[in-house]
Amino acid sequence: MEEQMNELYKEIAETVNEMIPEQWEKFHFYAQVSDNGGGCIFSIIPRNVFTTFNTA
């Protein structure tokens, strides 16, 4: 069962990656699957995005 779940997570991650229309620096992905259903969420940090933090 665990091997099947890992394969399913891999397929979901690859599908989500193909949906992103730009190059990304970081990709955060969470999926949950059960016999009754499931879901996933993801977020990306695009390449060449500069973040400035104000420490004052």
Per the DSSP assignment, residues forming a β-bridge with 41 are 30
User: H-type helices in 1-47, by residue range?
Assistant: 2-19
Query: pLDDT by residue (tens digit) across 24-36?
Result: 888 888 878 788 8
Q: pTM for the full model?
A: 0.54
Domain definitions of the chain by residue range? 2-46
Instruction: Give the residue among 11, 55, 5 at the shortest CA–CA distance from 34.
Output: 5
Q: What is the pLDDT averaged over residues 16-41? A: 83
pLDDT at 23 over 60: yes
Query: Could you give the CA distance from residue 5 to residue 2 in angstroms, rounded to a whole number?
Result: 5
